[in-house]
Chains A and B, each alone.
Chain A
């Protein structure tokens, strides 16, 4: 039998105070990001903000600064990214956000091309892909995304409360929110755009983190029956975490393997998506051990239920 992790007896619950501060910082960061995004100060992607995106390549190499300079006059807020792994060399993505009207969005599409064509007369720029999103579509997408998040979170909470007891439902939900907020906070700080793909990643990691929590709770539920006579609540929980640790690590590892390949080889479109998931796997693993279970422990310590789970 080949084992990465043998039988362990780590006192996870004992480390909960330290974990508490780490989590508090992560959640704080997430709440800050959420406030910034909802008040419109976040880095919204063009699908939410509305805007133009051009994906194209030059015939000859061009320093990114030159591309930026060619656009500063008309589009001071243009975001320019150089693509390293596209089939054609000298490829760039140019984004301009938040048009005031539908018409402005369409006009910009033409102006952008003209500005580049004018600045690089000798070096033609081929547009491979173009995306124009009007402000009304951005609004619809924002609304739909919000409903999707609320709907899925609500569904998950209801399901967990039905399957486990109320306390576990609340604790699992807190752990899930913790993970989503933590990853949102980190992506905000490192400047990842908040777009539909990121929302998708956040919802996916919510599901993933819940899976982790459910697995631990499932074991706790089973072990509490055994430990009931001994009355060692904390030990029951600590043992449960230790028992499923091998699974937790293995699953995180395999998931990291696949998400990691997406990150390195999946191309520009999926890179931030994969990055958010990588963080999600790490944070989700951490939270199922250090957040979800300690909440139940603290709750029990203050309002003993004599684990009737």
Chain B
């Protein structure tokens, strides 16, 4: 027996590994709605980590957007510059998609000049298209002064307050007024806006100091009560109008600022913009909102030879060079604005707003903050290069799958697999009795192993992928039928149980092996050349067949070996 023990040990190890690999998928799929929403709000990092380890669902199953872009590289002189251009476009799109807050975007290069962008779970097609399809524009802008911004914010506050109050019913309003009467003695009537407009606000410290009565502040200063100063130039100790906003408040603020009744308050030469990425401040995930002078001071396309390096003090820096006319303009711009921040704006989002420390002539350098990682520096490098990107992109394929269609597909895929499986298990169990039941258990192992491999490989499960699993069931059933029919034949010729089992497995092996190999060749070809959903089919088929070989010849065989000494075989 000792020679055969390895199979028990190997199978045991595999079961444990498979269980570990499937654990997150199991937790995620069996989690009820309430627990999940609870976890998503309180601990999004854990959910993301779990999603990464769990089986990934294709766009067709969970809804989402799939876009293929063609980069127009006709204007580039040689292969390597074309290649470089596509890579840069890819990076820009990655930045933009990250800004959208898609959970697990997949951005891949397809061939020479195509880029595939998959955004699972995201279904706002229009916004995604706008974001992906537009050509990158990198510009440098100055920030508004803090005083002007404070005045503007105060105006915005009252405009928003008015809108919010108008939404409330009279009773709710009265209630709120009563609550707020201590701090805000002025009754909220239309004249309040005029009064505030008449004020000249210079004391910015007071504007953000709302501890006395938070509720009143929330009502009267809906915007400023949600802003925290985020940018100060250390040398002159001056504040600049860049404010941290809790990630959860971002959408609300964006909604307010886009309201025509609010946006008309903005002077023509002032605009607001979000930071590209969120960061963690005081253990909260925050975005930064900037108040910028609308004028484009300088265009990013003039930057040359951009590269990152380390300064002598070990800080990460990104270098760039300028030449000719633009160089003179940049030197004028920086010379006149020393100690002021210069916002680097890519596609209307602020990448960063470094403080100008000296007049920049031919060569400039952006020093990253102390906490900046290599990744941040690399990102800055890419962003600066993006400004020099002349390539146009065109959307050549778009697939938008609604979440409910995805859910519908899952349900159908799940039920049809389950019913198909039940039918087959019943047939085998009835037809081959105890042996059939052993084969059935082998089949279940098959599916278990297959799912765990999908989770382990980070493979994507698509609707055709489910079809692949179902076909795998068919294939492994075939292996069992071949073996059992052969054993039956051997038994009929009067052989002993042990000899029949041995002969059955031996003889059937060749046919099973050949048929599995040919199907694997097909799966391999489909995987190499297929796209998206077809790839999903090929992956499940390929691994399913490999596992089917294993379960038939190792897992069920070891059970049969245990039965070899019996007089009669239930088959």
Residues of chain A at the chain B interface (Cβ within 8 Å): 1-2, 4, 55, 85-88, 102, 106, 109, 127-134, 136-137, 140-141, 144-145, 147-149, 151-152, 155-156, 159-160, 163, 196-197, 200, 203-204, 206-208, 210-211, 214-215, 218-219, 222, 243-244, 246-247, 250-251, 253-255, 257-262, 264-267, 269-270, 273-274, 277
Contact at A137–B467, with CB atoms within 8 Å? no
Selected interface stretch from B241-249, B306-314, B393-401, B446-454? B393-401
Indicate if the CB atoms of A267 and B518 lie closer than 8 Å: no
Cα(A243)–Cα(B412), bound, Å? 38
CA distance A252 to B244 in the complex (A): 65
Question: Inside 8 A of B515's CB, which chain A residues have their CB?
Answer: 207, 210-211, 214-215
B423 contacts A258, C-beta separation under 8 Å: yes
Query: How many Å from the CB of B324 to the closest CB on chain A?
Result: 37
Q: Which residues of A contact B151 (CB under 8 A)?
A: none
- B396–A131 contact, CB under 8 A? no
Which candidate, B12-20, B369-377, B523-531, is the interface stretch facing chain A?
B523-531
| Binary CB contact string for chain B from 327 to 357 against chain A (1 if under 8 A, 0 otherwise) | 0000000000000000000000000000000
Is there contact, CB below 8 Å, between A211 and B518? Answer: yes
Which B residues are in CB contact (< 8 Å) with A277?
471
Once A134-B396, A215-B511 are accepted as A-B contacts, the answer to whether A129 and B412 lie under 8 Å apart by CB is no
- Cβ of B518 and Cβ of A102 under 8 Å apart? no
Which chain B residues lie closer than 8 Å to A85 at the CB level? Answer: 412
Residue of A4, A211, A264, A269 near B463 (CB, 8 A) is A269
Distance between Cα atoms of A134 and B393 in the complex (Å): 14
Complex Cα gap A160–B473 (Å): 24
Which B residues form the contact surface with A (CB < 8 A)? 60, 68, 70, 111, 125, 394-402, 404-405, 407-409, 412-413, 415-417, 419-421, 423-424, 427-428, 430-431, 433, 463-464, 467, 470-471, 473-475, 477-478, 481-482, 485, 488-489, 507, 510-511, 514-515, 517-519, 521-526, 528-531, 533-534, 537, 541, 571
Q: Which of A151, A255, A265, A266 contacts B478 (CB 8 A)?
A: A255
Is the beta-carbon distance between A144 and B485 smaller than 8 angstroms? no
Contacting pair B60 A269 (CB below 8 A): yes
Determine the chain A residues whose CB is within 8 A of the CB of B405 once the complex forms: 55, 86, 128-129
- Residue contact B522 to A137, C-beta cutoff 8 Å: no
Nearest A residue to B483 by beta-carbon distance?
A247
Do residues B467 and A266 form an inter-chain contact, with CB atoms below 8 A? yes
Min CB distance B227 to A, Å, is: 38
Assuming A130-B400, A267-B412, is B423 touching A155 (CB within 8 A)?
A: no
Check A267–B409 contact: CB distance below 8 A. Answer: yes
Considering only CB atoms, which chain B residue lies closest to A281 in the complex? B474
Residue among A246, A253, A262 with the highest chain B CB neighbour number at 10 A: A262
B404 x A128 contact (CB < 8 A): yes
Whole-angstrom distance between the alpha carbons of A119 and B70 in the complex? 34
Q: Which 9 A-B pairs have the closest CB atoms?
A: A211-B515, A152-B525, A261-B420, A134-B396, A267-B412, A265-B416, A148-B529, A128-B402, A258-B420
Of A55, A208, A257, A273, chain B has the most CB atoms within 10 Å of the CB of A257
- List, in ascending order, chain B residues with CB within 8 A of A273's CB: 464, 467
**Pair B489/A156 contact, Cβ less than 8 Å:** no
Shortest CB distance B80–A (Å): 23
Chain A residue at minimum C-beta to C-beta distance from B416: A265
The reply to whether B395 and A106 form a contact with Cβ atoms under 8 Å apart is: yes
The CA-CA distance from A253 to B399 in the complex, in Å, is 37
| In the complex, residue of chain B having the shortest beta-carbon distance to the beta carbon of A150 | B525
Give Cα distance in the complex from A160 to B477, angstroms: 23
**A251 to B: closest C-beta gap in Å:** 5
Q: Which of A152, A214, A218 is B521 in contact with, Cβ under 8 Å? A: A152
Cβ distance A103 to chain B, nearest Cβ, rounded Å: 8
Tell me how far the C-beta of B11 lies from the nearest C-beta in chain A, rounded to whole angstroms.
24
Provide the bound-state CA to CA distance between A255 and B537, in Å: 17
A156/B522 in contact, CB under 8 A? yes
Q: For A102, what are the chain B residues with a Cβ–Cβ distance below 8 Å?
A: 70, 394-396
Give the distance to chain A from B93, nearest Cβ to Cβ, in Å: 17
- A131→B400 contact, CB < 8 A: yes
CB–CB A243/B530 < 8 A: no
Residues of B within 8 A of A106 (CB): 395
CB distance from B378 to the nearest CB of A (A): 32
Q: Which residue of chain B lies nearest to A103 when distances are taken between CB atoms in the complex?
A: B394
CA distance A144 to B526 in the complex (A): 9
A132-B525 in contact (CB<8A): no
Complex interface: chain A residues within 8 A of B470 (CB): 258-259, 261-262
Q: Are B511 and A214 in contact (CB under 8 A)?
A: yes
Instruction: Give chain A residues whose Cβ lies under 8 Å from the Cβ of B511.
Output: 214-215, 218-219
Which residues of chain A have C-beta atoms less than 8 A from B428's C-beta?
Answer: 254
Least Cβ–Cβ distance between A110 and chain B, in angstroms: 11
B407 closest partner in A (C-beta): A87
User: What are the residues of chain B within 8 A of A140 when measuring CB–CB?
Assistant: 111
Known A-B contacts: A207-B515, A257-B423. Give 8 more (CB < 8 A).
A86-B405, A128-B405, A140-B111, A155-B521, A156-B518, A261-B470, A262-B416, A269-B463
List the B side residues contacting A222 at CB < 8 Å: 507
11 pairs from A and B in contact (CB 8 Å cutoff): A85-B412, A86-B405, A102-B396, A132-B397, A207-B518, A214-B514, A215-B515, A254-B477, A259-B470, A260-B420, A267-B409
User: How far, in Å, is B546 (CB) from chain A's closest CB?
Assistant: 14
Q: Is A136 a contact of B396 with CB atoms below 8 Å? A: yes
**Residues in chain B near residue A88, CB distance under 8 A:** 404
- CB-contact partner of B528 in A87, A148, A159, A163, under 8 A: A148
**Inter-chain contact B473/A258, CB cutoff 8 Å:** yes
Cβ–Cβ contact A265 & B537, under 8 A: no
- Contact of A254 with B481 in the complex, beta carbons under 8 Å: yes
Tell me, in angstroms, the Cα distance from A207 to B524 when the chains sit together: 12
CA–CA, A154 and B400, complex, Å: 36
Task: Give min CB distance, A215 to chain B, whole Å.
Answer: 5
Please determine whether B514 and A251 come into contact, CB atoms closer than 8 angstroms: no
Q: Complex Cα distance A196/B526, Å?
A: 11
Determine the residue in chain B with the shortest Cβ distance to A85: B412
Report how far A88 CA is from B482 CA in the complex, Å. Answer: 44
Q: How far is the CA of A132 from the CA of B421 in the complex (A)?
A: 35
Report how far A152 CA is from B407 CA in the complex, Å: 33
Selected from B396, B413, B423, B431, the residue in CB contact (under 8 A) with A137 is B396
**Given A200-B464, A214-B515, A246 and B485 contact (CB-CB distance below 8 Å):** yes
In the complex, what residues of A have CB within 8 A of residue B481's CB?
A: 247, 250-251, 254
- Check if B514 sits within 8 Å of A163, measured CB to CB: yes
CA distance A156 to B242 in the complex (A): 65
- What is the chain A residue whose CB lies nearest that of B472? A258
Q: Is the CB of A211 within 8 A of B519?
A: yes
Q: For the complex formed, measure the closest distance between the CB of A142 and the CB atoms of chain B, giving whole angstroms.
A: 11
Contacts of B427 in A (CB 8 A): 253-254, 257
Expressed in whole angstroms, the Cα–Cα distance for A259 and B430 within the complex equals 20
Partner pick for B398 among A130, A155, A259, A265, CB 8 A cutoff: A130
Residues of chain B contacted by A259 (CB below 8 angstroms)? 420, 470-471, 474
A211 touches B478 (CB 8 A): yes
Pairwise interchain contact B404-A243, C-beta atoms closer than 8 A:
no
Expressed in whole angstroms, the Cα–Cα distance for A245 and B467 within the complex equals 27
